[in-house]
Amino acid sequence: MPLASKPRLSFQLLALRSLTVVVGCLGFLWGVSNIARGEGSDVFWDIEARLLRFEVFSRASSIAVLESAAGQDLNPCDNHAQRALMLIETRARQTLGCTPRDSFVWLLLFGMEIEHGILDEHSFDLLAMSYETAPNEAWIAIRRIVVAMPVVRVAPEPIQQKVLMEFQDLIRHGFVEASARSYWDASASTRSLLQSRIDQLDPRSQRNFSDALQKLRS
**pLDDT tens-digit readout, 77-134:** 656 556 666 677 787 888 888 889 999 889 988 988 887 889 999 999 999 999 999 9
What b/e sequence results for 109-126 when a residue is b if at least 16 CB atoms lie within 10 Å of its CB, and e otherwise? bbbbbbbeeebeeebbeb
How many other CB atoms are there within 10 angstroms of residue 43's CB atom? 21
Please report the pLDDT score of residue 112 as a whole number: 84
Model pTM score:
0.68
